[in-house]
Structure 1
Amino acid sequence: MDITGLVKMARAGDEQAYARLIEMKRENLYRIALAYVGNEADCQDMLQEAYLKAYLSLNKLKNPEFFFTWLTRILINLCCSQLKRRYKFVRLDGGQPAGSYVDPNFILAEAKADITGMLDSLDEKYRQVLILKYLGEYTLVEISEILKCPLGTVKSRLNYGLRELREKAERRAGCD
């Protein structure tokens, strides 16, 4: 069944149809949330909150064919709100803000941590495009719809973000 049909069924109260919709992009949404919040527990919380918020607001979705871009936007907004709450108070000693932690059961390889650190250091507008493109596996047109900005802007942000990442990687490798 197509996305539009599943959305219509979910609007009519079919929870199985909604579950099928979520399953279609579960991995992509997981990668996006994890890239934003950085730990498994918060990632799962953000996903559950996004799924619930979207389900309760299904009747507000004007174009069912844009369900996934709409859901992704909800998830990103929730993640950004979580990060603002988490980092509202910055410690003067330069340490981690209170309540921030890394799940010891979720240890990433050193190279992946370096890339994540470089990605985190990018300006938010470039970071968003890179996360959606490479972790969310969205097309540039879909990213344009999600971020509500022109396609040309998405392309330039992608190019600029990739250039910044490349320069950061070269500096870390001592190649500059």
Structure 2
Amino acid sequence: MAQFFKAKRTNSAKNHIIKDVHVEKVDHQGRGIAYFKNSPLFIEGGLVGESLDIQIVENKKNYSTGVIKKVNRASVMRVAPTCPHYEECGGCQLQHLAQDNQIAIKLEGLQSLFKRFAKHQPLQLAQPIIDDAWGYRRTARFGVQFDNKSKKLKMGFRRSASNDLIEQRVCPVLVPS
């Protein structure tokens, strides 16, 4: 039997804006977690206690991912990122949090991973080693691409969730030298 037309499966939730999403917790990658249609909705940059308008960018069987379109009620933990490239660069994910909150979220994430995958709570973790909030990183991975239009070689960090490079002159987490 020949089939001439097969209807495309539509994903009705993708690109849909959801208003007043309430973030309940943060995962080990620093993404906010809310619930949409009884499944987790991961929100890059979402913080506990925030009310957000979200655009669904990926809708899978067991979870969805979304991006923030509007912050209706910000968390008391939210701070302005120091890096001028924070919104576009794919390097740092938690600069919208103060350093002590970043460390607490990373510690919670580590304990959650131990509990989930090792099937036990770690007895006691050592205190985190804390350095300056800026200028601590000695290495970085730069991308290199040849631009056919301008006939120039480009070097820089990759844009978040992309292979494109961003032009930046400063990175506050790198050692200035």
User: When the two structures are superposed, what TM-score results if normalisation uses the length of structure 1?
Assistant: 0.25
Rg bigger for which structure? 2
More strand by share: 2
Higher share of residues assigned helix: 1
